[in-house]
Amino acid sequence: MSIFVSGATGFIAQNIVKQLLQANYKVVGSVRTQEKGDALKNNIKDASLQAENFTYEIVADIGAEGAFDDALKAHPELEVFIHTASPVKFDVKDVKKELIEPAINGTTNALKAIQQYGKNIKRVVVTSSLAAVAGSRTVLKDGESVTEQNWNPVTEEEIKDPSDGYAVSKKLAEEAVWKFAKDKSTHFSVTTILPGLVTGPQAFPNFDRDGLNFSSETINKLLKLKPNDEVPKGAGLFVDVRDCARAHIVAFEKESAVNKRLFAVAGKFNSQEVLDIIRSSFDELDQISPKGNPEDAKKYAPRSDRYDQSVTRSVLGFEFIDLKKSVVDTVNQLLDD
């Protein structure tokens, strides 16, 4: 079976590609340049995966009209489309142009191409985000939880910073997916994956340590702290990238995932907790990382941490990697030159 993965060189996508090849699927990835495509192909060869099962198509800008048309015309054999590509950056000046438009247009371009040229595509899996579900403006009453029915209430008009802009880009892109599936009589069914902060190792050992994706950099930043530095107050919900990738695969393999929004969340984390794991697991880092206040590990939590994951867990049916393993595997890879 042939699977398309958009944004194949991304952090999550490379883990998806790796797991798909390990499971003997054929993969067509979209990449922005030939150089990036060749680098990924070499990583696949070096990992002794079946490189002949991986090809790539160049889609330089997912937001350009008809971006995916040629790629899908070239591959009528495709049966599944996994759409991960979307801008994940916070150093933006123009939120609309740099985040919102590429996210929405990239998604609708993919769906239009699938509808027109991907006649054999039966399943579409789209990477959304927990940011599409809830955020700082979400108000929960006592005893209430966020469920797969919730949408982040933040609107385009209320955007105050790039973080709001990213949340809106993910929300509007995911809304466009469900609207497309409802309005058109599509020959494919849809599942969306809503990850928390994605931690864990890069899929392949050859990666750019100075150009890490946003979520991996959150752990890398803690490694760069000096003993007297203040511990940043970051807190949220996380999922290991290997589980996040696995969720994308289960999403097209299982019939019960059709029409579902699936939370990819393993649990809570805060930076004090992550530092405590690093210091206790790596002798060489114990003396050089700040101690902070280990009591804080229990104190500060994400703003909304009440998520009802019963639907997701029953569909996915696997145990999630815990914070300690995710952090230790990430740091081991970052320290390994």
* In the complex, least distance from residue 62 CB atom to ligand NAP, rounded to whole angstroms: 4
Under rule CB under 6 A, residue 315 binds ligand NAP: no
> Nearer to ligand NAP by C-beta: 172 or 279?
172
Q: Does 127 bind ligand NAP (CB under 6 A)?
A: yes
Integer angstrom CA distances of residue 232 from 152, 211, 300, 323: 25, 21, 11, 18
Cβ closest to ligand NAP, residue 7 vs residue 165: 7
Q: Which of 150, 213, 271, 326 binds ligand NAP (CB under 6 A)?
A: 213
In this complex, which beta carbon is closest to ligand NAP, that of residue 99 or of residue 121?
Answer: 99
207 touches ligand NAP by CB under 6 A = no
Minimal distance, residue 247 CB to ligand NAP, in Å:
11
Nearest to 179 by CA among 129, 119, 235, 111: 111
Closer to ligand NAP by CB, 10 or 302: give it.
10
Segment 166-205, which members bind ligand NAP (CB under 6 A)? 170, 195, 197-198
Residues at the interface with ligand NAP (CB under 6 A): 7, 9-13, 32, 36, 59, 61-63, 84-88, 102, 127, 129, 170, 195, 197-198, 213, 215
